[in-house]
Amino acid sequence: MEYIAVFIAAIFPGGLVAFDHDVLQSLPSFNALRIYCAGIWHNAVFCALCALSLFLLPLMLSPFYNHGETLTVVDVPSMSPLFGYLSPGDVIVSLDGIEVHKPSEWLELAAILDKQNSETSNTSLYLGGSRIFHHGKGYCVPISLIEGGFKGKMVENQFICPGDLTAFVPMPCSNAAHTEGSVCLDAKDIVKLNKCGDGWMTTSDTDIKSGCVCSQGESCLQPVHSPGVTWTEITFRKTSSEDCSSLGRDFNASYCLGTFVFVGDLIAMSHSVHLTAYQPRWQFNFFGKSFPDILEKSLTCTFHVSLALVLLNSLPVYYLDGESILESSLQSFTWLSPRKKKKALRVCLVVGSLLSLFAVFRIFLVGLPQSRQW
Q: Which residues pair with 274 in a beta bridge?
A: 75
The three-class DSSP label of residue 283 is coil
All structural domains of the chain with their residue ranges: 3-59+295-366, 72-122+131-281
Angstrom distance (rounded) from CA 152 to CA 183: 5
Tens of pLDDT along the chain (374 residues)?
A: 666 666 666 566 666 676 666 776 677 777 777 777 877 888 889 999 999 999 999 999 988 888 888 888 888 888 888 888 888 888 898 888 888 888 999 999 888 888 877 665 444 444 444 444 445 678 888 888 888 877 766 666 666 777 778 888 887 765 554 456 678 888 778 877 888 877 666 544 445 555 677 888 888 888 876 655 677 888 888 875 565 655 444 455 566 788 888 877 888 888 999 999 988 887 666 777 788 888 998 999 999 988 888 888 888 888 777 877 887 777 777 787 888 888 888 888 888 888 878 877 776 666 544 433 33
Nearest to 189 by CA among 259, 92, 126, 90: 259
* pTM for the whole structure: 0.62
Angstrom distance (rounded) from CA 164 to CA 162: 6
* Tally of CB atoms within 10 A around 235: 20
Half-sphere exposure for 279 (CA within 13 Å, toward CB): 22
Q: Fill in the DSSP letter of residue 255.
A: G
Angstrom distance (rounded) from CA 306 to CA 313: 11
Residue 56 has a pLDDT of: 94
Contacts of 144 (CB under 8 A, 6+ apart): 217
Query: What SS3 string covers 82-105?
Result: CECCECCCCEEEEECCEECCCHHH
Angstrom distance (rounded) from CA 47 to CA 40: 10
First CA to last CA across the chain, in angstroms?
50
The three-class DSSP label of residue 79 is coil
